[in-house]
Each structure stands twice: as structure tokens, then as C-alpha cells.
């Protein structure tokens, strides 16, 4: 009998640090488990030993399937030494240790386990679709690739199993990543009046952007948009006037944020000191808590965890930003058994009890969706 705990341990034992990823190790471990339970599987390759996996079962009856998604790549171990084996999956005091335990192999294991156990009853129901992605940690590469190729199946609703400690989140912020370039005129450092200093231009633009006020751009659950200048490079040496400076800007969007209007505000604030280039963007994801499916899901979560509370949102983005538009814009939530504060930490762990609860929540969610 499949167990979400054992499956989490098995997934942790594959080193899927991204880069390079090697996610095919996990995809090819999960695929046969799903096939044996009656799922149809499809592997979508994206380079050396890197694969996404889409698995489906059931379908029909005029209602689209319930979709689950999770990524199997993990972040590097970091500079600090680990006191446990990072790819061991050891359990002690109710904690299951390893890189990716919380973010988010436990989430994948919980929905795979729930779906496999219910599989014999899913024929002739709306069914379930699992989208197990590669390359999430470096910009949702696998999800974007499948969306770009039109390979994503339509879904009636989407659960993202990222770590929320089994709290239901109604969505997350989107992003708008920019690079800005200031151009100047170089000159000898002893004669700065002969040149135009690009570092000064960039510095003025950075401060103008940092002072932008997003007070009136807020969303009731996701809060305000934010802006952070993450890096700034300019000049080559001490005794020259620098003729170029560049900096990177991380803007986080909320529903209602209009990237084109924001760009106009940035241009105005920077007053011609820099030019902007868009490096990447994803839309915010939000489903209103009054949506009937969210109301049902809220009850399910409460029946398993006993916890109640307002439905919040996450500041970070997930694969849902790419998957939701590629799957027909279904309502989407973030709900997973990992511990959010453990993501990317040294000695990362998840709680065994929470993973078992996660499987129970997912089981009830499938049963509710498919009318079991």
C-alpha cells in the first residue's frame, strides 16, 4: 500500500538540486506507480535528464478534472553544513528531514498517494490530472514550456501543493522583473566635468523608484505591490567616469496591478535617467474565498486540521502563474503539507503528521470533486 511518508522519503533520495535538476529521476519513479494504478502518463522532456510528468485518470461527464501540481526540483543545500543527510529522508521526533521535504516533495507525495488510493473509483468521474513539473525553482521553466507548447490539459480547478502547513491560500502575487540601464560618457577620473556619470544617473533612478508609493494599489488579501532593487553594477575602475550602470528590479504584482501602467510610472519616476527592459513577468493568481469550490475546500481543510481562519495569499509566486492560464483559467489555491518556514533552509524538514493530514485533505478534495 502506497504511503505518502514513504513516498516523500523515496523522492528525497533523488538529488534533484536545480541546477542542473535531474528531475527525470523523480518523474520516472512516480510514472510507474501512477501507471500501475491506471493513470495515463506523458513525459515532457526539457534537456539532459530533465522531465515533466502529466498523469490523468477518469474524465468525462461534462465536468473538467481536478488538477494538482507540484515541482520535484529543489534548491541547493546552501553554504552551511547540514547536521542530517540532505538526501536521506530520515525521520526523528515526527520530523522527516531532507532537501525538498517541505518544498515540496511531501506535497507531491501526498497528492500522488491520495490519487493512487482513489484511482479504482475514478473511472467515469470527472477525474484527476497531476502536473509534476521540473525547473520551478529557477523561474517555472517546465510549466512555462508546457504552456508554450499547448500541452497542458484543461482543468476545472487547480491545487498547488506548495508548502502552506495545510493552510488554504487563495492565491499569490505575480511578478514583473526588469533591468534598467543608464548610459553616460566616460572621461578621466581626474576630470569628471568632461564626462557624464552613469552611476549617478542610475543612483538617482534607484532612489526615485524606491520612493514610489503603492498605498492606493492594494488588494484586500494580497496587500500592496512591492518593488525591490536587487542588484546594481556600474563602472569599471576607480579613476574613470563610468559610462554605463545597470540594475535589476523585482516588482511583485497584485490583482488589479496593470504592468503597462506601472511601467509608465517607473518611466516617469526615472525621468529619462535610465531605460527599462522587461526580463520576465507572471500574472497574480487569486480566487475569491466566496467561490463555491473554495467554500467546499475550506470546510474540508477544517474537517481535517480543525483550524479555521481567513484565507490569505502568498507573496512568492508558483507554477500556477504559468499553469492556470494554460489550463483554461480554473480557480486555483495553494495548499500543501510542507512547512513554509522550512523552504530552502539548512536541515529542512516536514512534519509527518502534516503530510498524513495533507493526504487526507487531498483525498476528500478529490472525492468531493468527483462525487465519490
Binding region for Zn ion (CB under 5 A) out of 17-25, 76-84, 156-164, 205-213: 156-164
Residues numbered 26-55 forming contacts with Zn ion, rule: CB under 5 A: none
Q: Nearer to Zn ion by C-beta: 9 or 342? A: 342
- Compute the least distance from the CB of residue 363 to Zn ion, in Å: 22
Active-site residue list? 73, 136
Beta strand 244-253 with 174-183 is antiparallel
Binding region for Zn ion (CB under 5 A) out of 28-36, 157-165, 170-178, 306-314: 157-165
Q: Is 334 in the site for Zn ion (CB under 5 A)?
A: no
Q: Nearer to Zn ion by C-beta: 126 or 171? A: 171
Binding region for Zn ion (CB under 5 A) out of 48-56, 97-105, 326-334, 360-368: 97-105
CA angle 211, 214, 219 (to 5 degrees): 160
Q: Which of 73, 103, 273, 319 binds Zn ion (CB under 5 A)?
A: 103
- Angstrom distance (rounded) from CA 109 to CA 106: 5
- Compute the least distance from the CB of residue 162 to Zn ion, in Å: 5
Q: Which residue is nearest to Zn ion (CB)?
A: 103
Q: Nearer to Zn ion by C-beta: 63 or 344? A: 344
For residues 160 to 179, the per-residue mask of contacts with Zn ion, x marking binding by CB under 5 A and - elsewhere, is: --x-----------------
For residue 53, give the C-alpha cell. Answer: 510528468
- Compute the least distance from the CB of residue 358 to Zn ion, in Å: 14
- Compute the least distance from the CB of residue 334 to Zn ion, in Å: 10
Q: Is 23 in the site for Zn ion (CB under 5 A)?
A: no
- Compute the least distance from the CB of residue 132 to Zn ion, in Å: 12
Neighbours of 325 (CB within 10 A): 14
Q: Nearer to Zn ion by C-beta: 224 or 344? A: 344
Q: Is 104 in the site for Zn ion (CB under 5 A)?
A: yes
Q: Nearer to Zn ion by C-beta: 23 or 103? A: 103
Binding region for Zn ion (CB under 5 A) out of 154-162, 166-174, 261-269, 353-361: 154-162
Q: Nearer to Zn ion by C-beta: 103 or 339? A: 103
Count of residues engaged in binding Zn ion, rule: CB under 5 A:
3
Residue in 345, 365, 361 with CA at minimum distance from that of residue 95: 345
Q: Nearer to Zn ion by C-beta: 104 or 304? A: 104
- Compute the least distance from the CB of residue 319 to Zn ion, in Å: 8
User: Could you list the residues that contact Zn ion (CB under 5 A)?
Assistant: 103-104, 162
Amino acid at each position: 500500500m502506497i504511503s505518502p511518508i514513504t513516498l516523500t522519503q523515496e523522492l528525497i533520495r533523488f538529488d534533484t538540486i536545480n541546477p542542473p535538476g535531474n528531475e527525470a529521476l523523480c518523474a520516472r519513479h512516480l510514472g510507474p506507480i501512477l501507471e500501475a494504478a491506471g493513470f495515463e502518463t506523458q513525459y515532457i522532456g526539457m534537456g539532459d535528464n530533465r522531465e515533466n510528468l502529466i498523469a490523468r485518470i477518469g474524465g468525462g461527464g461534462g465536468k473538467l478534472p481536478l488538477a494538482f501540481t507540484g515541482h520535484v526540483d529543489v534548491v541547493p543545500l546552501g553554504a552551511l553544513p547540514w547536521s542530517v543527510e540532505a538526501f536521506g529522508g530520515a525521520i526523528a521526533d515526527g520530523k522527516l528531514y531532507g532537501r525538498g521535504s517541505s518544498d515540496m516533495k511531501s506535497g507531491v507525495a501526498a497528492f500522488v498517494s491520495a490519487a493512487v488510493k482513489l484511482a479504482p473509483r475514478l473511472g467515469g468521474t470527472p477525474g484527476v490530472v497531476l502536473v509534476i513539473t521540473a525547473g520551478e525553482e529557477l523561474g517555472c521553466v517546465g510549466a512555462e514550456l508546457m504552456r508554450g507548447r499547448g500541452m497542458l490539459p484543461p482543468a476545472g480547478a487547480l491545487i498547488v501543493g506548495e508548502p502552506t502547513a495545510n493552510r488554504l491560500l487563495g492565491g499569490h502575487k505575480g511578478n514583473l522583473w526588469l533591468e534598467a540601464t543608464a548610459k553616460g560618457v566616460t572621461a578621466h577620473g581626474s576630470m569628471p566635468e568632461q564626462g557624464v556619470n552613469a552611476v549617478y544617473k542610475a543612483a538617482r533612478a534607484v532612489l526615485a523608484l524606491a520612493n514610489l508609493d503603492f498605498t492606493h494599489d492594494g488588494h484586500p488579501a494580497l496587500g500592496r505591490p512591492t518593488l525591490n532593487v536587487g542588484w546594481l553594477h556600474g563602472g569599471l575602475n576607480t579613476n574613470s567616469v563610468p559610462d554605463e550602470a545597470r540594475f535589476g528590479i523585482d516588482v511583485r504584482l497584485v490583482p488589479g496591478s496593470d504592468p503597462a501602467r506601472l511601467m509608465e510610472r517607473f518611466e516617469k519616476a526615472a525621468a529619462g535617467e535610465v531605460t527599462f527592459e522587461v526580463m520576465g513577468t507572471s500574472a497574480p493568481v487569486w480566487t475569491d474565498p466566496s467561490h463555491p469550490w473554495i467554500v467546499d475546500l475550506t470546510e474540508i481543510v477544517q474537517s481535517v486540521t480543525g483550524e479555521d481562519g481567513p484565507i490569505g495569499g502568498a507573496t512568492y509566486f508558483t507554477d500556477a502563474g504559468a499553469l492556470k492560464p494554460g489550463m483554461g483559467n480554473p480557480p486555483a489555491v495553494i495548499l500543501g503539507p510542507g512547512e513554509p518556514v522550512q523552504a530552502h533552509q539548512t536541515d529542512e524538514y516536514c512534519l509527518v503528521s502534516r503530510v498524513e493530514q495533507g493526504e487526507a485533505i487531498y483525498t476528500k478534495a478529490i472525492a468531493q470533486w468527483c462525487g465519490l
